[in-house]
Amino acid sequence: GNSVTQMEGPVTLSEEAFLTINCTYTATGYPSLFWYVQYPGEGLQLLLKATKADDKGSNKGFEATYRKETTSFHLEKGSVQVSDSAVYFCALGGTSYGKLTFGQGTILTVHP
């Protein structure tokens, strides 16, 4: 079956540091890949997505590239802000229909 393995946290960074959160997946077929973010006290929001190999999703300074050869979709940001503190979820979907399979989530805390 489908599965997503996500870098364990929590991750603590200083403002303006570089961020990488690793995500690898196992799936049959050609899934779509997503990063969702959950800010404190809020619901899940789609951060970015990629629907085919070599696609790069980007939003709010975050990027992730769909790497089929390494079955990965690592999240990166060049310079994090305090406001980026949240829980980040890598997710896989679309091999048969829209059900999403989520990673365990990574807690990110950014200090001033």
Residue 57 is a binding residue for other proteins (CB under 8 A): no
Contact 88, 35 (CB under 8 A): yes
Taking the complex as a whole, how short is the minimal distance between the CB of residue 85 and other proteins, in angstroms? 18
- Are the CB atoms for 38 and 108 separated by under 8 Å? no
Our CB check for other proteins shows the closer of 37 and 80 to be 37
Query: How many other C-beta atoms can be found within 10 angstroms of the C-beta atom of residue 60?
Result: 12
Q: Does 44 bind other proteins (CB under 8 A)?
A: yes
User: Given the structure tokens 């200083």, which residue do they identify?
Assistant: 14
Site for other proteins in 89-108 (CB under 8 A): 89, 91, 93-94, 97-105
77 part of the interface to other proteins, by CB under 8 A: no
Cα–Cα dist 27/11, whole Å = 27
Nearer to other proteins, 29 or 112 (CB): 29
Smallest separation (angstroms) from other proteins to the CB of 46: 6
Exactly one of 11, 32, 50, 64 binds other proteins (CB under 8 A); that residue is 32
Q: Residue 30 and residue 44: Cα distance in Å, rounded? A: 24
